Each structure stands twice: as structure tokens, then as C-alpha cells.
Amino acid sequence: MSKFCANCGAQLEDNASFCGACGAKQEAAQTSVQQAAPVQQAPVQQEPSQFAYDPLKAVDTVGSDGSIAPSNPMSPEQKKKIIIISAVVAAVIILAVVGVVIYTQLTKWQKIDPADLYHVSYSGINGQAEAEIYLATADNLERYAYDEYQSEYYDSKYYEDRDYESFINTKASKWLSTDKKDMKKAWTKADGNSDMKKMQEAIIDNVEFVVDEEDLKNLSNGDEIKVKVKYKESKLEKRNIKLTSDSFTIKVEGLVEPIVIDPFDGYEVTFTGNDGFGEAERSDTNLNENAKDKFSYYFTTAHYDLKNGDVVTIEADPWYSIKNGYFMYDGKYYTYDETKLTKDFTVSGLKELTVIDPFEGLEITYTGVCPNLRAEINKDGCAEAVKEYVSFDYDYSDVRDLDVGSTFTITASAYWYSEELADAGFRLESEKVTKTFTVPAEVNKYINDISSAKSCDFDTLMKPVYDSINGEVGDRWLSGLTLDGTIAKVDKITLDTTFLVAPAEIATQDNVLYQTGRAELTLVVNGANVKKTIAFVAIFDSAYIDSTGALHSDDTWINVSYSESMQSIIDTYVKKADNLVAGKLITSVKSSDMGKTGTTDNSSVTDSSATDSSATDSSSSLAA
């Protein structure tokens, strides 16, 4: 069975109520074309239809021969109507699609005001505060704002369970809270918990606040902090997030106005005693009430043995430390300048003392011989107060082995008796007074040139030698030198030449003094008196001169040698090989040129010019 449109002739589905081509309603009687019982007739050859179907041009009908022929062509008004209807339908469809797109774009974004994302923490007091701005996550608040919320936490329901994590989460930004209920209320555009967490992470990873560092310092209530929001827009849009602005302003508020304490307001220091030995006493009797019970006070410098003009320092040790620029005491806010917790007080009003020179009248004496001189002090000539209360100290090694020009230092101090000295009305210029002394030229000193000696007391120097020779009367020898007869008398002893053998470069005790002379003797030979002259040499170690230039020797043993020949004495002792080596100097002077010479038997001593004769030498040692 076939069904065709009654209006335009288009073939339809059997159950179609409207034409799909022209839209005309179909009558039930016309839904099909019933064919009567077949009538026998010859087949007719049908020509192909010469018409193509165009719904805008004509409405086709079915011919009696079964062909479709255009019939009832559409009027221009009908065609225009169909075109308009089609255009309107298309426009409606397009507008609907655009509307859906626009609506979707307008409603998919999670819009966030960045001023809802920050937390500001203040440290310091009004006028001196500093601020720190950061994302208000629970982690950041726990790290940076712990002190801000402590008292509130202790009073909250969370403290009983010690659940600080949940408590601090309530202080976080609603966009950054980790509480699921709060998250769902905030993130209305999120698709489930996982999406909310990713959106939070996008905020944390890609949003930061930028503020000029100077704008975060020296803040007062009422100040405004301008904050720039720096963020990665593409990263946020990827998570359907849009920030509503790129800046916001924070108004500073809540900074405290503490009472400023001067810890030294009314604090007193007084001084008593003698200048140089005064004492400082402190008192908080008149201390300002705001400072009382908030500081401990103590000296940081010596407060005794003071003199006028000294400075003593008091330090105030606070009992309460400052946090965020203040501390609480008895319900009030206080602060103090942490850089002004010390104060200097200048000493005055002490009894003036007379400065005494401890070295006035002090005598330095020297013993020994340069370069092995020793210095000693004698304070017998000092003032009575110095002798009684002042001690003199020096390094032992500094006053030993001195030479001409050497220096040493002596320190005067009244350390043990300073108060007694002050009670006597005196003080030293300082706790320790030092003075440097120089060894003068007028001291005992070893020589390396006999010409340095200006005189010699030969009676003293040669006395052991004289005594030895005179003691040989009655003997047939002089210390081993055998004589032709017995010594009846020592007629005269004559000193000849004084020799000095010493290191050439420097004068030390390593020198040897050779004093030559002659002894004129009366011998008894076979019952007759015979005159005989014997040459001798007295050998002294370590010759030196005193402050006057007088010659001395500190040798305690004197070697004496005798010979019948003076030349033999000189060659054997003075000019021996050991004395002729490089580095040694031999100098000599006639003994008579150095002053009084020693004699025996009341005979005058003259220079000897006796002719030497060859003889055997002999020597002996004498104790000086």
C-alpha cells in the first residue's frame, strides 16, 4: 500500500499524519489509495514522467496511469512563507546555541576576591609596628600567627581535645580551608572533592602578594598597605578560577598603645669616700612607679676605688620581655626601649688627695760589674708614706746582667695599702706607676783596653803579692825559684808594666791583667850579703774599672810567677801563644802612669831597668 500527499503528491509513510515535503495535514481517507478488484485489460505501455518534483514550484498529483504529474503549483506567497519560516527556525536554533554557550561561559568560573585570601600579622606597637602578609592557609597561620590565637585557642571548644589543627583551620580563608563542609560552601563550581583540592592548590601555587618592604615598616593604626596580587592567570583558568582584581588595600588596626617606661626615671647613685678610693651606692627609693617591680638593677662596672671623673654604669635587667613591642602587667600594656637599658653616672664629690711621686728620693744602686751588673733599690730617701705604704716591683731578670745603657722598669703600687695611703692624704697618679731607669756610664765595668783605667791603688791590688814576697825572707827560694843563698831582706819591690789581654770586640770578664815588676833582694851567700833582682808577674782575671776609672780585679786567686829575666816573664806569660790569636787585644801602660805604686820596706818604687839574665821561671798562686 502506498500513501501520497493530497496537497503536493509526495510519497509518504503509511502512518504519516503530515507531509514531510509541504507540511500539509493528511486526511485519514486519503492515507492510501485503495485499488478495486483487478479489471482485466490490456497492458498499457507507460511513458516515463516528464516532470521532476519541486516542492517550491508545484504540488504533484498521481495520474490515472500511475504517473506523478505536477499539479496545483505553489503561489509566490506560499513560497515566501516557507522561506521565512525556514529562516526563523534556523535563527532560533542559532540563538539557542549561542545562548547556551554564553550561559555556560558566564556560569562556569569560580570568582574569588583576592582580599579574601590573605592574612596579615603585626609585630610591634602603634607607630613602630611591622606587618607580614601571606596566604591564609592553616599551615601558614600555624607557622606565622601562632601567638595571635593562643589565648583564643585556650578559651575555645577545641582546647579541651587539644585539637589545635581544627581550631586554626577555622581561621583560614574560606577558600583555603581543609574542612570539607566549608570547602563545599566555597567552591560551588568544583566537581567533587578532588577538584576542590586541585583548585586550592592552584591558588596556593600561583598566587602571591607583593608589597614594598618599606610599606610594611613603622606602621600606625589607620595606615593603609597597598597590596598587589601577582598570579598566573592561565594556571587559574585551567581550574576555572578567576580573580576579581589584581590589588587591594589593607587598613592597619588593632595596634596597641603601651605605656613607655624609662627604667632610670628617679633612679639614684651617690658617691662617698676619698678621691681614688670612693664607693658608689645606688637607690631606687625615688624610682618612677611605672618602673617599679619590673626591673632589677646592678653595676656593670667597678663601683669601688673610684676617683672623681670616673664613670660607673648601671644596667636595668627587665623582668618581662617584649613581644610585638609590648608586655602585659596587671592588665596594662607597657614597653621600654631595649637599646637604653644602661645608664652612666659620673663620679663626683669625693675628697681630693695629693698625688705623690713614689720615685722621688728612690735610690738605685748597682753591684757587680758590667755587663754583669745588678741593680738594687733603696727607698730610705723616700717620703714616709711611700716607705710605709708603697711597694716597688720589677722583673728579677730585668735587673740582672746589665751593661752601660741597659734599661729596666720598676713599678710602684700601693695595692695592699691604698686605703691607708689615702687616709694619709695621698694617692698615686694611677693604680700602678712605672718608671724606666738607664744604667749610667759611671759604674763598674770590665775593660778590654788598659788605657781605660785612669788610676790604680796598687797597695790594695798588689798587697797579696807584696805579702807573699816579704814572707819569703829566710827561705832559699821564691815560690819554687831556687836562689843562690838565703833571703835576708827584701829591699824594694818595683812595679814595671801593666798589661791587659782581652777580647777585642767587647769588654767582658774574660780578660787577664798581667802586672809585672821586680823584687830587689839581699841574699846571704856563703856568709856574705849579695844583692839580687828577681822579675815577677802577678796574673789577675777579670779586671774592671769603677765609676772613677780606678783599676780593680774581682779575681779571688792571684797567680804569681818569678824569673831572673823580665823578658822571659813577658814572653812566657804575656805573649804566650794563647794571647796572640786573632780576636784578642794586648794593651799595656807603665804602672807609674796610673798613680801610686805599692812598695815594701819603706823604699820608693821606681821603674826597673836592670839587665835581665837567663834563669828558670817559677810561679805560685796567692789568695787575694
Cβ-in-10-Å burial (0-12, 13-18, 19+) of 347 comes to buried
Q: pLDDT tens digits, residue range 235-252? A: 999 999 999 999 999 999
DSSP 55: T
Phi/psi of residue 105, nearest 5 degrees: -65, -40
Cα 547 to Cα 73: distance, rounded to the nearest angstrom: 166
Report for 177-186, 202-211, 589-598: range of highest mean pLDDT: 202-211
Task: Indicate whether 232 pLDDT > 80.
Answer: yes
Average pLDDT score over residue span 55-63: 49
In whole angstroms, how far apart are CA 347 and each of 271, 297, 315, 432?
A: 7, 18, 17, 21
Sketch the domain layout of the chain as residue ranges.
114-251, 259-346, 354-438, 445-623
Number of Cβ within 10 Å of residue 512's Cβ equals 22
User: Which of the four pLDDT bands, split at 50, 70 and 90, describes residue 619?
Assistant: low
Average pLDDT score over residue span 597-602: 40
CB 70 within 8 A of CB 5: no
Distance of CA 559 to the CA centre of its chain: 71
The predicted pLDDT at position 65 comes to 58
Q: What is the mean pLDDT of the chain?
A: 85
The predicted pLDDT at position 99 comes to 52
Residue type, 395: D
pTM: 0.46
Number of Cβ within 10 Å of residue 524's Cβ equals 16
The predicted pLDDT at position 276 comes to 79
In whole angstroms, how far apart are CA 622 and each of 19, 439, 462?
A: 172, 34, 11
User: Which of the four pLDDT bands, split at 50, 70 and 90, describes residue 473?
Assistant: very high
State percent of the chain over pLDDT 90. 66
Cα 5 to Cα 33: distance, rounded to the nearest angstrom: 11
Q: pLDDT tens digits, residue range 305-357? A: 898 999 999 999 999 998 878 898 988 889 999 999 999 999 999 999 999 99
Number of Cβ within 10 Å of residue 598's Cβ equals 21
User: Which of the four pLDDT bands, split at 50, 70 and 90, describes residue 360?
Assistant: very high
Average pLDDT score over residue span 564-574: 95
State percent of the chain over pLDDT 70. 83
384 vs 62, which has greater pLDDT? 384
Task: Indicate whether 359 pLDDT > 70.
Answer: yes
Q: pLDDT tens digits, residue range 184-210? A: 999 999 999 999 999 999 999 999 999
User: Which of the four pLDDT bands, split at 50, 70 and 90, describes residue 66?
Assistant: low
The predicted pLDDT at position 4 comes to 76
Burial 563-573, CB ≥16 within 10 A → b, else e? bbbbebbbeeb
Q: Which residues contact 308 (CB under 8 A, 6 or more apart)?
A: 275, 278, 347, 348, 349, 350, 352
Task: Indicate whether 438 pLDDT > 60.
Answer: yes
Q: Which residues contact 378 (CB under 8 A, 6 or more apart)?
A: 362, 363, 364, 365
Average pLDDT score over residue span 255-283: 93
Tell me the CA end-to-end span of the chain in Å, nearest whole number: 178
Q: Which of 336-345, 406-415, 595-604 has the lowest mean pLDDT?
A: 595-604
User: Which of the four pLDDT bands, split at 50, 70 and 90, describes residue 108?
Assistant: confident
Cα 170 to Cα 138: distance, rounded to the nearest angstrom: 8
Query: Given 3-state DSSP classes, what are the helix, strand and coil percentages for the chain, each rounded to the nearest 5?
Result: 25, 35, 45
Cβ-in-10-Å burial (0-12, 13-18, 19+) of 108 comes to exposed
Task: Indicate whether 436 pLDDT > 60.
Answer: yes
